[in-house]
Each structure stands twice: as C-alpha cells, then as structure tokens.
C-alpha cells in the first residue's frame, strides 16, 4: 500500500461517517415533519395519544392550513435529504477513486 492509497481510504472512512450522520439527520427531520402533522391533526392535544377522527389529506378544508403549519418542518426535511444526497455523491466518488488506487476500477 502506498501513501496515496492510504489517504484515499482515510478520506473514504471520513465520508462514511459523514454519510451515516447525514442519513441520521434525514431520519430525525422526517420524524419531526411527521410529528408536526400529528400535532396539527390532533388539534393541540397530546400527539402521542392521537387518533384523528378525520385525516387531513389534499382536498380537505384544512389542507392549506396544514401545509402552512408543517412548512418549516418539511423544509428542514427536504434540506436534510438534499445534504444527504450530496454526501452520498461524494462518498461514491471517493469509493471509485479508492478502487482505482488499488487497481480495481
């Protein structure tokens, strides 16, 4: 193994950790977004004990209000997904480069 190969593997390892963190951020943001919907649909009651009489879906009179109420959480979720995709692209590129350093690509 040469220094270039070791450097490529270390970079790949760091990107793997970054990808794990980004995927975890997506999961947390999605859960927050879903919790915002539950909170809206339960009308301020305890969302953990929530059983809505009517789900708010597209066409429901409260649809626009629900979208407005959950917009910040949805924006954060979309931003987390975008960031995770960027990290994954960098990770794939690093994998290809590391494979080329070893001679497998």
Q: Which two tokens stand for residue 2?
A: 């040469």
pLDDT of residue 48: 64
Question: What pLDDT, on a 0 to 100 scale, did the predictor assign at position 49?
Answer: 63
What pLDDT does 5 receive?
82
Structural tokens at position 97 = 């480069």
The pLDDT score that the predictor gives to residue 2 is 82
Q: Give the model's pLDDT for residue 52.
A: 65
Residue 28 · residue 77 · CB < 8 Å = no
DSSP 69: H
pLDDT in the model for residue 72: 98
pTM: 0.83
- The sign of the CA dihedral 37, 38, 42, 47 is negative
* Nearest residue to 75 via CA among 30, 27, 23, 20: 30
| Cβ atoms of residues 53 and 62 within 8 Å | no
Q: What is the pLDDT of residue 44?
A: 62
The conformation of residue 46, written as its DSSP 8-state character, comes to -
In this prediction, residue 15 carries a pLDDT of 96
Longest dimension (CA), the chain: 65
Report whether pLDDT(1) > 80.
Answer: no
The structural domains of the chain, with segments of one domain joined by +, span 3-102
Q: How far apart are CA 82 and CA 59, in angstroms?
A: 28
pLDDT digit string (tens) for 5-61?
888 889 999 999 999 999 999 999 999 999 898 888 887 666 566 666 668 899 999
């Amino acid at each position: 193994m040469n220094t270039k190969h070791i450097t490529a593997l270390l970079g790949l390892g760091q990107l793997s950790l970054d990808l794990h963190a980004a995927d975890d951020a997506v999961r947390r943001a999605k859960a927050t977004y879903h919790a915002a919907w539950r909170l809206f649909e339960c009308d301020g009651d305890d969302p953990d004990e929530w059983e809505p009489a009517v789900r708010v879906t597209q066409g429901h009179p409260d649809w626009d209000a629900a979208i407005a109420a959950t917009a910040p959480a949805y924006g954060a979720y979309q931003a987390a997904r975008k960031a995770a995709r960027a990290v994954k692209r960098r990770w794939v590129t690093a994998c290809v480069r590391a494979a080329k350093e070893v001679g497998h690509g």
